Amino acid sequence: MARSDINETSLEMLHEITDWEGLFDGAYSIRQDGTCADLHSTDTIRIVPKTDNPGIDIYIAAGKKKDTVYIPACVTKSGVDDVVYNDFHVQSGADVIIVAGCGVHTTDDEGARHNGIHRFFLEPDSHVLYKEKHIGTGIGKGLRVIDPVTEVELQEGAYLEMDTQQLAGVDKTVRATKAKLLKDAKLVIRESILTDDDNVAETDFEVVMEGEDSSVDLISRSVAKGESRQAYHSHIIGNCRCTGHSECDAILVGNGKVDASPALYAGNLDAALIHEAAIGKIAGEQIIKLQTLGLTEEEAEEKIIEGFLTGVE
């Protein structure tokens, strides 16, 4: 498959998930329907197709400036079940933005699925910002499924920030994230998930802090509309002097349902772990306030959900 084979559906989804405007500045690998459609390496970011499995190894060296690598994946028709293994090898001192993202499009009553298995190996003092958006589009009764699996190993002083959003239209997702943090490593995860209709979303986090002064900050925002269901499970394990914070907030609209099960394990006297959680409908006073500013009830609800999911830095 070549660049010219990237179809209209992919282009539309690339725009949604990566802000694609016809060009990526930097290294990239564009995947369409289970095949690599285009790939480009740079001096500091080398992308190598795997030989044993579908997928790529991405080697990121320290550069003079912050680099960006794009690795979007699109499934553009029913009947595709794409599994891909992407490994990120981030060398000491590297500072990079990874823009991932996935779109799944159905064309008839048969389902379409993308299963991205990502492994992150961050060497000491490397710095990564990982951005990922998921979207489902299309017609027919076929289920649009995205099942990402993420494994993270942060060595001494490494920093990983993961900003993940499920925008809309994904019928089913099971998201599994596991991380191990060594000394002074820091992991920040911001996840937002929007479900509607009969969508089902499950998200599981397991973060183990093994190194002194490591820290994790896990912020999850969910909106469950229609008849959709979401389940959130997190397990933060502190086996040393470390700090862990998780925050799970969910808004229910219509008959949406959310099951949140946060868990903390402190295996050391100096492990400081905190969890905050809140689930409920939109506060009536928030809608009223925006109505007094001229919005209708529906506009107010939309604005509150939009702000809640996208958040404020």
Partner 1 sequence: MLELQNIHWELPDGEELIKGVDLAIRPGKLTVITGPNGGGKTTLAKLIAGLYMPTEGKILLDGEDITDYGITERSKAGIAYAFQQPVRFKGLSVKELLKIASGKDMKEFEMCHILEKVGLCAAEYMNRPLDTHLSGGESKRIEIATVLARNASILIFDEPEAGIDLWSFSSLIETFEKLKTEKSGALLIISHQERILNIADEIVLIAEGKIREKGDRDTVLPLLNINGRGCGCPLGREVVNG
Binding residues (CB under 8 A) for partner 1: these are 221, 249, 283, 285-286, 288-297, 303-304, 306-313
Match 């830095």 to its residue by tokens.
313
- Coil, strand, or helix at residue 285? helix
Cβ distance to partner 1 smaller for residue 2 or 293: 293
Between 4 and 292, CB nearer to partner 1: 292
| Rounded-to-integer distance, Cα 58 and Cα 85, Å | 11
Comparing CB distances to partner 1, the nearer of 49 and 280 is 280
Q: What are phi and psi for residue 140, nearest 5 degrees?
A: 85, 175
CB closer to partner 1, 267 vs 280: 280
In the bound complex, what is the minimum distance in angstroms from residue 189's beta carbon to partner 1?
Answer: 17
Name the H helices within the chain.
8-18, 284-292, 297-310
- CB closer to partner 1, 149 vs 219: 219
Shortest distance in whole angstroms from residue 35 CB to partner 1:
38
CB of 301 to partner 1, least distance (A): 12
Identify which of residues 274 and 288 has a Cβ nearer to partner 1 in the complex. 288
CA distance 87 to 59: 8
Nearer to partner 1, 44 or 246 (CB): 246
Contacts of 178 (CB under 8 A, 6+ apart): 150, 151, 152, 205, 206, 207
Residue in this structure with the two tokens 């008839």, named with its chain if needed: 108
Q: CB of residue 291 vs partner 1: minimum separation in angstroms? A: 4
User: CA 76 from chain center: how many Å?
Assistant: 20
**Shortest approach of partner 1 to residue 235 CB, angstroms?**
24
CB of 133 to partner 1, least distance (A): 17
Written as six digits, the tokens of 250 are 């969910």
Separation between Cα atoms, residue 13 and residue 102, nearest integer Å? 8
> Tokens representing 64?
């003079």
CA gap 205, 185 in Å, rounded: 17
Tell me how far apart the alpha carbons of residues 67 and 26 are, in angstroms, rounded to a whole number: 7
State the nearest-atom distance from the C-beta of 190 to partner 1, in Å.
11
Contact of 183 with 153, CB cutoff 8 Å: no
